[in-house]
Amino acid sequence: MTFNWNYMFSLLGDAEFWRATWTVIKLSFLTWVISIGSGFFVALAKQSRRPLLSVPARAYIWLFRSVPLLVLLIFTYNIPQAFPASTVVLGDPFWAGLLAMVLCETAYVAEIHRGGLLSIHKGQTEAARALGLEFFGIQWRVIIPQALRVALPSLANEYISIVKLSSLVSVISLTEILMVGQRLYSENFLVMETMAAVAFYYVLIVTVFDFLLKRLERYLDVNQRKISRVPDAQVLALATQQAVAVQRPGSLPGQGPALQASRLHKAYNNVEVLGAVDLSIQPGEVVSVIGPSGSGKTTLIRLLNGLEQIDNGEIRINGQPFIHLERKGAQKPLYVEHAEHRLNIGMVFQSFNLFPHLTVLDNLLMAPKYHGLGKLDELKQQAYALLQKVGMLDHAWKYPHQLSGGQQQRVAIARALMMRPQIMLFDEPTSALDPEKVNEVLQVIETLAQDGITMVIVTHEMNFAFKVSDRIVFMEKGRVVCDDKPQLLRNGQNPRVESFLKDVSLA
């Protein structure tokens, strides 16, 4: 038996095959796009701590990964027998096939998304929360763009699987590529030639979309982008002339504490990390928190910003409740946070936590645009001025991965200042830096101290702490051992502090 090449090549121009190819393209692309959207919701629900969300999501994934697509197609197409009203939609094989494939693929895509979501460091969520973004704002603007870029290779591979699975839809009489081929070889018995043509159409679809998806993958990969733009004369002039208010209006000196924490307590797995800590910060005051590793310094500053939930105590901003526990009888105390005060507190993390999918300028603009703090042109002027203030204006259009550690931390400081917070919190801002990069960050913080910005700084840089601070808080084993002015601590009036500083040469 000879292979009929002429017949096979004639099928490559067959109108019915091309109509079927267009059907496959529509079916597979719609399935893929809808599954990507619905898969995100299922993945987020599965990761939720609320059983009302996580249990149904887990059950959905388990069920639709277990049921064969062929069974699901037949079941969906026959639903109108039980519910005649659904005939309007499911009576059409295309829509019945689309629904069945979306139900099936959403379960698989949800797991792909979950892998992408799990790959995003929790510091990204914490940085967004510190900037006042709500849950859906965090997901849409920070987490999903990064997770999608991570998951895109797997999603592209899943699209190829969807294209091939679309051949099963012929079981419900949808005229797609395989069904056309089956009808032809049942008439002329040229099976090999017809199946070769069928393979050609599938290979064509996969090749074209694989090319397009790889282009999309390269476009989304910020690591391959080269930024050559530099500030022009107009931007430099605006940055120089703009006088940015870097603090949100709040209480004035003499009118009470800007930040007051009372009886703060925190334990992990019944191990006390912080016990009955009191702290009061006056407007314009710079307070450094020092102490040995494991003394509870970072836990304290995370509690002050609401990144960790207190087990007891309360936190006030300008005399107004910010975080407290609400007790009702014998029930477990309810954690209450007044989110409107969150924008009064700016946070700078030891690991920078810049958003890697955004440029330096967009890192600064994202939260102010989200909160509607001004017109875009005005916000850009403020961003230019702050970048100039921290010496990073020349890098405004770069991505975080193109910056050194010290440069990233200076951008993180500018990003926090864009919200004009009343209080700035610094969690060991130089601990992740090389020694030669430490000074450039400390100089920026020192400049902010001279500008009268209220700051709480957790640091191991003793000389810096004694130089810029109005007060120094020494912590050990989760408690405040000493809270005094630097001059008094230098005199060795507290034996424990003196022991801690014995190997430090204070300038």
Q: What is the pLDDT of residues 147-193, one digit of tens each?
A: 999 999 999 999 999 999 999 999 998 989 999 999 998 888 899 99
Q: For position 230, what pLDDT does the model report?
A: 65
Q: For the chain, report the end-to-end CA distance as a whole number of angstroms.
A: 96
Same domain, yes or no, for 65 and 199?
Answer: yes
Please say if the pLDDT value at position 218 is more than 90: no
Contacts of 335 (CB under 8 A, 6+ apart): 309, 310, 323, 325
CA 175/CA 167 separation, integer angstroms: 10
Q: What is the three-class DSSP state of 348?
A: strand
CA 205/CA 207 separation, integer angstroms: 6
Contact 43, 107 (CB under 8 A): no
Contact 96, 73 (CB under 8 A): yes
Same domain, yes or no, for 372 and 469?
Answer: yes
Give per-residue burial for 441-478: e unless 16+ CB within 10 Å, then b: bbebbeebbeeebbbbbbbebbebbbebbebbbbbbeb
User: Which tokens is 461 given?
Assistant: 């840089």
Report the range of poorest mean pLDDT among 168-182, 232-246, 263-277, 326-340.
232-246
Residue 272 lies in a domain: no
Residue 276 lies in a domain: no
Contact 229, 397 (CB under 8 A): yes
Same domain, yes or no, for 72 and 205?
Answer: yes
Higher pLDDT, 492 or 206: 206
Q: What is the pLDDT of residues 76-132, one digit of tens each?
A: 999 999 899 999 899 999 999 999 999 999 999 999 999 999 999 999 999 999 999
Same domain, yes or no, for 290 and 190?
Answer: no
Q: Which domain holds residue 212?
A: 5-220
Would you tell me how many other CB atoms lie within 10 Å of the CB of residue 133? Answer: 21
Q: What is the pLDDT of residues 336-382, one digit of tens each?
A: 999 888 899 999 999 999 999 999 999 999 999 999 999 999 999 99
Contact 301, 425 (CB under 8 A): yes
Same domain, yes or no, for 214 and 361?
Answer: no
Same domain, yes or no, for 209 and 288?
Answer: no
350: domain CATH number is 3.40.50.300
Q: Give me the sign of the Cα torsion angle 120, 213, 108, 32.
A: positive
Report the range of poorest mean pLDDT among 30-39, 349-358, 415-424, 460-469.
460-469
CA 140/CA 124 separation, integer angstroms: 12
CA 326/CA 425 separation, integer angstroms: 26
Same domain, yes or no, for 290 and 163?
Answer: no
Q: What is the three-class DSSP state of 311?
A: coil
Q: Which residue has the tokens 């924490």?
A: 261
The dihedrals phi and psi of 284, each to the nearest 5 degrees, come to 80, 0
SS (H, E, C) 245-267: CCCCCCCCCCCCCCEEEEEEEEE
Same domain, yes or no, for 211 and 294?
Answer: no
Same domain, yes or no, for 301 and 202?
Answer: no
pLDDT band at 491 (very low <50, low <70, confident <90, very high): confident
Please say if the pLDDT value at position 223 is more than 90: no
Same domain, yes or no, for 38 and 184?
Answer: yes
Q: Which of 197, 220, 243 is the last residue of a domain?
A: 220
Residue 257 lies in a domain: no
The dihedrals phi and psi of 273, each to the nearest 5 degrees, come to -105, -30
Please say if the pLDDT value at position 278 is more than 90: yes
CA 40/CA 114 separation, integer angstroms: 8
136: domain CATH number is 1.10.3720.10
**pTM for the structure as a whole:** 0.87
243 alpha carbon, distance to own chain's centre: 31
Number of compact structural domains in the chain: 2
Q: What is the pLDDT of residues 393-411, one digit of tens each?
A: 999 999 999 999 999 999 9
| Kind and range of the H or E run holding 274 | strand 271-281
Residue 131 lies in a domain: yes
Residue 261 lies in a domain: no
Please say if the pLDDT value at position 254 is more than 60: no
Same domain, yes or no, for 214 and 354?
Answer: no
CA 300/CA 475 separation, integer angstroms: 10
Residue 28 lies in a domain: yes
Q: Which of 181, 203, 220 is the last residue of a domain?
A: 220
Contact 428, 350 (CB under 8 A): yes
Q: For position 143, what pLDDT does the model report?
A: 94
CA 120/CA 40 separation, integer angstroms: 14
Q: Which of 220, 255, 274 is the last residue of a domain?
A: 220
Say which DSSP state 403 is in: S
Please say if the pLDDT value at position 329 is more than 80: no
Residue 231 lies in a domain: no
Please say if the pLDDT value at position 137 is more than 90: yes
Say which DSSP state 460 is in: S
Q: For position 222, what pLDDT does the model report?
A: 83
Same domain, yes or no, for 215 and 300?
Answer: no
CA-to-CA dists, residue 14 to 24, 111, 198, angstroms: 16, 39, 11
